[in-house]
Amino acid sequence: MDYEKQNGKSSEAAKEDVLILAIESSCDETAAAVVRNGREVLSNVISSQIDLHTLYGGVVPELASRKHIEKINQVIGQALKDASVGLSDITAIGVTYGPGLVGALLVGVAEAKAIAFARGLPLIGVHHIEGHICANFIEHRELEPPFLCLVVSGGHTHLVKMEDYGKFEILGRTRDDAAGEAFDKVARAIGLGYPGGPKIDRVSKEGNPRAIAFPQAHIDGCPYDFSFSGLKSAVLNYLNHAQMMGQEVNQADVAASFQSAAVEALVSRAMLAVEEFGAKQIVLAGGVACNLALRREMEEACRARGCRLYYPSPIFCTDNAAMIGVAAYYEYRNGVRAGWDLNAVPNLKLGER
Ligand code: KG4
Ligand code: ZN
């Protein structure tokens, strides 16, 4: 595809600007964005596959890869068009290379390599979670590291210290299910369907968060680690028991009680870290950062400790390429460049290259 012709004459973008064309395809969104100087999003195009995967109750990896292949050129073309730029204005290509579904990641990585090679542009491999954290820079121009970060997505739950751009220390992580995964599994069990997080968030407003006392898991010697599989099993046991006893289940009460226990587990660890490190700023990142109860409880707990809380708008919480463009910009500034052997790394660890 000739992006230059499609977009007409190259724009007047100032040559000293760093324009990143970013590509994200790690799970079920095909996304591309153009980001100027790390903080200004010129375009952010997301083609969601939710309708496709809803039919199966969750993401089907093979279908996700095929859909990415179908959509990726169109999405990139649209991102350039929305930003009123052509490829000749682009300084570098940023792409998510892990973690994620290997077949899905490969589509973005291959596309990014092809464009970068054909145009002689620098290529930057971005860690998906680093992207989620960097989403906070888009709307909070004053925000600079160091800060603490609670990363809560469908695949990850991490408590992280971002020391500087591109420099992370992981304080804690989930031992089993990610927070979003627990929301999705519980939603399915109580008949809300996929994707579960937003549905539990909505239904919980009608329920009593204290109706059922679901347990909290604590991991000896690892105060910042999380575990959500016990909470999920407790919900399943509650539902099975009610069914066996012929008791009616109040869906909203179960959703609200589960959400309250999950949010409490997240907030309590985050606040432990805020106190331990005397943190003055903490950010939320990832899809579960959309959750209203989590935002509310974090606001309250942070206010009580004199810590400023930041979180992105919902569109920048869930998967998008703008956040990858922001992370790529800071990697670019740090001199990070990928070779033509850049590959998808499905289990890439944060802070690793
Ligand atoms: O960050 P994300 O888009 O993808 C991953 O990198 O995993 O996160 C998706 C996850 C899903 O598990 C979804 O259910 C959850 O974020 N999520 C929510 C809400 N919106 C999305 N969970 C709780 N409350 C929400 N409002
Ligand atoms: Zn994500």
Ligand 1 centroid to 231 CA: how many Å? 18
Q: Using one digit for the tens of pLDDT, what is the confidence trace for 164-202?
A: 999 999 999 999 999 999 999 999 999 998 889 999 999
Say yes or no to pLDDT of 216 above 90: no
220 and 324 share one domain: no
**Of the bound ligands, which one is closest to the alpha carbon of residue 317?**
1
Q: What is the predicted pLDDT for the residue at 75?
A: 98
Atom of ligand 1 nearest to the CA of 100: 6
Which tokens is 88 given?
């000749």
**Domain count of the fold of the chain:** 2
Question: What's the 3-state SS for the chain?
Answer: CCHHHHCCCCCCCCCCCCEEEEEECCCCEEEEEEEECCCEEEEEEEEECHHHHHCCCCCCHHHHHHHHHHHHHHHHHHHHHHCCCCHHHCCEEEEEEECCCHHHHHHHHHHHHHHHHHHCCCEEEEEHHHHHHHCHHHHCCCCCCCEEEEEECCCCEEEEEEEECCEEEEEEEECCCCHHHHHHHHHHHCCCCCCHHHHHHHHHCCCCCCCCCCCCCCCCCCCCCECCHHHHHHHHHHHHHHHHCCCCCCHHHHHHHHHHHHHHHHHHHHHHHHHHHCCCEEEEECHHHHCHHHHHHHHHHHHHCCCEEECCCHHHHCCCCHHHHHHHHHHHHCCCCCCCCCCCCCCCCCCCC
Say yes or no to pLDDT of 309 above 90: yes
Q: What is the predicted pLDDT for the residue at 1?
A: 53
Rounded mean pLDDT, 34-52 = 94
57 and 39 share one domain: yes
User: Is residue 342 assigned to a domain?
Assistant: no
Give me the domain span that covers residue 197: 144-311
Ligand 1 centroid to 334 CA: how many Å? 30
Rounded mean pLDDT, 59-87 = 95
10 and 97 share one domain: yes
Say yes or no to pLDDT of 9 above 50: no
Say yes or no to pLDDT of 78 above 80: yes
Q: Which residue has the higher pLDDT, 135 or 10?
A: 135
CATH of the domain at 323: 3.30.420.40
Q: Using one digit for the tens of pLDDT, what is the confidence trace for 223-249?
A: 999 999 999 999 999 999 999 999 999
Q: Using one digit for the tens of pLDDT, what is the confidence trace for 330-351?
A: 999 999 999 999 999 999 999 8
11 and 70 share one domain: yes
Q: What is the predicted pLDDT for the residue at 54?
A: 82
Ligand 2 centroid to 142 CA: how many Å? 24
- pLDDT band at 3; cut points 50, 70, 90: low
User: Is residue 349 assigned to a domain?
Assistant: no
Rounded mean pLDDT, 159-167 = 96
User: Is residue 251 assigned to a domain?
Assistant: yes
- pLDDT band at 95; cut points 50, 70, 90: very high
User: Is residue 341 assigned to a domain?
Assistant: no
Ligand 1 centroid to 50 CA: how many Å? 12
Q: What is the predicted pLDDT for the residue at 91?
A: 98
The binding-site residues of ligand 1, defined as CB within 6 angstroms of any ligand atom, are 27, 132, 153-155, 180, 183-184, 195-198, 201, 286-288, 290-291, 318-319
- pLDDT band at 6; cut points 50, 70, 90: very low
Give the closest residue (by CA) to ligand 1 atom 8. Answer: 287
Rounded mean pLDDT, 67-79 = 97
Q: What is the predicted pLDDT for the residue at 53?
A: 83
Burial classification of residue 324, based on how many CB atoms lie within 10 Å of its CB (0-12 exposed, 13-18 middle, 19 or more buried): buried
